[in-house]
Structure formats: C-alpha cells, structure tokens
A and B are shown apart, each in its own frame.
Chain A
Amino acid sequence: MSARSAWGGRLLAAHAWAVYLFLYAPIAILIVFSFNNEKQTAVWKGFTTQWYSALLDDRFIRTPVANSLIVAGASTAVATIVGTLAALGLARYKLIPRPLGQGATRGLLMLPLVIPEIVVGAALLTFFGVIDWELSLWTVIIAHVGFSTSYVAVVVGARLAGFDRTLEEAAADLGAGPLATFVRVKLPLILPGIVAGALLAFTVSIDDYVITSFVAGTGATTLPLYIYSKLKTGVTPEVNAVSTALLLFTVVLILIAQWLLRPRSGATPGGEK
C-alpha cells in the first residue's frame, strides 16, 4: 500500500498548496500592484511608494477613514458589552423555562450571522424610514451593533464552553462573594475571548460595505463605501494602495485575535465535563 499511498499523499499535498495559491495569489497581486509605478496596465514598471504618499495627501479620504474608525469603535464598544453579557447568560441558561429558553436566545443571536446582508440593509433602511430617523453616522453605528453583538457572543461563548465551573465553586467555597468570584476568577479566564471577539467585531465593522451602503447618510461615507465608489469608476493605483493598507491593518487584528484564541497547552479541549 505504501508506494501508492505516498503518491496519493503527494498529490493531496500538491492540491492543497494549489488551493492556497488560489486563495492568496489575488491578494499578493493586489499588494504588488499597489507598489507598481504604472497607472493603467498590469505591466510591472518599477517599485514606487507614490500611491501611498498620494493617499496621505488625499484630503477626501480623511473623512471616510475617521468615519470608519468612529463606527467600528463605537459599535464594537457597545457590542462587546452586550454580546459578552449575552454569552455569560447563555452559558447558565438551563434554568429559564421555554419559550424564552436557550434555543430562542441562541437563534436570535444567530440571526444576524445567517440573514444575508442585503436583506438586513434593506430592512434597516425601511425601518429608519418608517420611524422617520434621518440617515447619519448614528444609523450606521446602530446597524453595526447588530452583527457585532452576534460575533462577540459567539466568540466569548466558545471560550466559556471551555470554562471550568469548579474554579468558580472553589472560589465560592473559599468565601469569595459572587462579584469577587467574577472579577478575580472568571473574568481573567475569559478576557482573551472577550478581546478576541472585540477585535473580530471591529474587523467586520470596518470592512462592512453592503449594510453600510443602505444606512449611511450624506457625510457618513465610510472607507469601504469610498473604496467602492472609486472602483466602480475604474481601477486606480490609489485604490490598490488604500485596499492594501486596510487589508494589512485588519490582518494584524485577526492574527492577534487568533493568537488570543489559540488552544492553551495543558487544557483539555472541551474543558468542563
């Protein structure tokens, strides 16, 4: 079996690397082109950082960048608190009777992750119209709180699933009150999950285009909206540069989140039994 198996293994390895090439080559091409000293074609004409310096001089990009940071910061702050509380509640939910039970709450928190963005955006636009709220940066923040809460709840919930309840009981047995137990035992253990959830929610918020495009008022243009309007009118090297910058910024946040969520050595997967 070994000779055939070795060839099969090599074939699978080659396929896997080809798929990873497919996943990453377009991103690499985007990054390379952002340094290409050429405006129109895809021919390499030498290395330049002029598109990045053009970005720094571009006055029109400052408002979208600021708006994106405000929206992502504000919506993440709210979503981190609401989502973490919901995850904490869900983890000890068995006591609540139906129909307000665990399933309903879980389902509610999953909704923003499964309903297509185009539907959510259209519904929110309709909603703000019906209640007669003018579209602004506020409506964008509210829209982002919805999906961000779900992301935080899912990430923190996964962390809590591996939480050892006996630690809590031990703290209580040693005379710690509920607040002290939470602040000094539980919170430090789940804090990496909370931070990771917040980072991922921030990433999703700062990248969001579809929902934002429906609920952003005039003057509330975010960075993805700005990029979209640019690339609908044509590919420019400045768009490559700003896209690369946004991509690298979010990848750093994602890698930090992944590092925080890494399986801890020595801990049994699944945790509580």
Chain B
Amino acid sequence: MRRDQVALLSGRVGFAFLSPALAFIILFLLFPFVWVVMISFTDRTLLGASAVSPQFVGLDNYLALFNPARWMRRGEFGYSLYLTLIFVAGSVAGQMGLGIVLSLLFFRREGPLKELMYTLVTLAWILPEAAMAFTWSAFFERDAGTLNAILGWFGLGPYDWLLDYPLLSIIIFNIWRGTAFSMLLMTAALGSIRPSYIETALVAGASAWQRFRDVIFPLVRPQFWTGLVLITLWTFNVFSPFLLTQGGPAFQTEIVAIHTYRVAFRFYEFGRGSAIAVVVMVINLLLASVYLISQRRQGVRS
C-alpha cells in the first residue's frame, strides 16, 4: 500500500468534512441541472395557474424554439444563436490573438514596462463588470466619448458605436475584458520552454517568424488548444454585454445569455426559458467534452 493511501482521516470524519460541500454541490449544481430539464417540458410561469400546477407540454417549448418559420427572426432563439456564434468567434480570435502577441512581446523580457502592461490587462479582467461596462459606454459615446475623440484627430467619425455597430462594440468590449486569461496562459506556457531550444534556433539563424512557427508554437500547442476551448466555453455563457446594450438596439446584441434572461425573466416564461437553458447546457457539454478529449490526448502523448 502506498503511503499516501493510508487514511489520515477516518471515513466518518472525512465524510463530515466533505458534507457541507456536497450539500452545496447537490443543491446548487446537480439539482438545477436535472430540474431545468424537467421544467423545460412544462408551461411553467411565475404567476397564475401554470405557476401552481404547471402542465406537461412535451416537446412544445423545443418545437417553438426551433420552429423554422420564425426561429431566425430578430429576437428569436435562432437569431440569438447566430449572434452568439459571431460574438464567440470574434472574441476568441481577438483574445487569443492579443494574448499570444502580448506573451511573445514580453517573452524573456522583464521590467517595469512588462509590469505595467500585465497590470493593465489583468485589471481589465478582474475589476467589477458593472463599473467596467459603464466606463466603456462612456468610451463609446457618440459626442463625448474618448474613442470618437481619438478617431476625430485622424478625421474619422464620429460614429455612434453602440447604435450603429452594436455587435462589434460588445465584441471589442469582451476582448478587452478577457485577454488577460490567454495572455497569462500563454506566458506560463512560453516560460516552460527550455531556453536551449530557442538558442539552438537562434544559432541556426532562424528568423523570428521561423522560430515562432517551428520551435515555439509546436511546444505550446497544448496550452493553445486548452485556452481556445475554455475561452469558447466561457464566452458562450457571458452575460456582461447586457450591461452595455441590454441586448439592443432591436435585439442586435441579444446573445444567448441575454436571450435566456429576457425570455425567462421579462415575461417569466420559465418553461421556454428552461428549454433554451437546456440547449445552452448541451452546447456547453459538447465544448467541455472537446476539452476533456484534448486533455486525454495530451495525457497519452506525454
């Protein structure tokens, strides 16, 4: 028997220590997971008859979501999925791209400039979203906003960002908000490369691009894919653009998280809201499986 298999806690005490955590996880994670599926087959609402005794409606909620006649109309589920697809693709590309560029710029460099940059990017990530969203709505504002002021120096604009380019605006906001993760991840990944590999490439006379393509990137590919999948999963569930646009104007930024909120809480149609939530969870589950499979592959390879 391995030493660390000897129990320092008896099963009984161990269970007592674990039980509060178990209670929380069962109540707030497992139970909602099961319950939301059950609600999605009913016509449950907050008030009225269907709140007290919701009726089983079978697949009605799902059929309504995917009704081909209307699901791609503005403000409907299909349209919000389509917006989410663009939002996620843009955010992930921007965050990964900026994260990689930043980690490479400061690769094997230390000093106050790096400190400053990393602090800025990290603060954008950890400061409260409500305050950051308001700060960004000031930044984007048509007449007084900083962005248009700067573009004005170059004779551009003014643009009404949140009204005329709402989806682009929330993508930019989200890139700003989330780049820190990929930057920190890729910095950690680059830090684990043996210096000798890069020196060898330098001695061999490889250009910067060749060094990146042939030496650096292959070595950090696992972290790259990990980051890509995790950011995709998180971005798919992001609600904070709500603070910038409330899903508008005219549903043009109503990504899935905001759509779920509007259906479930503006009209308190819990049955339909739950059906959306179930679809969201299935997509989450697929993304999480992609992540697991990629991790397993890496485990086998190393």
| B is a partner of A | no
Give residues in B with beta carbon < 8 Å to A: none
Give residues in A with beta carbon < 8 Å to B: none
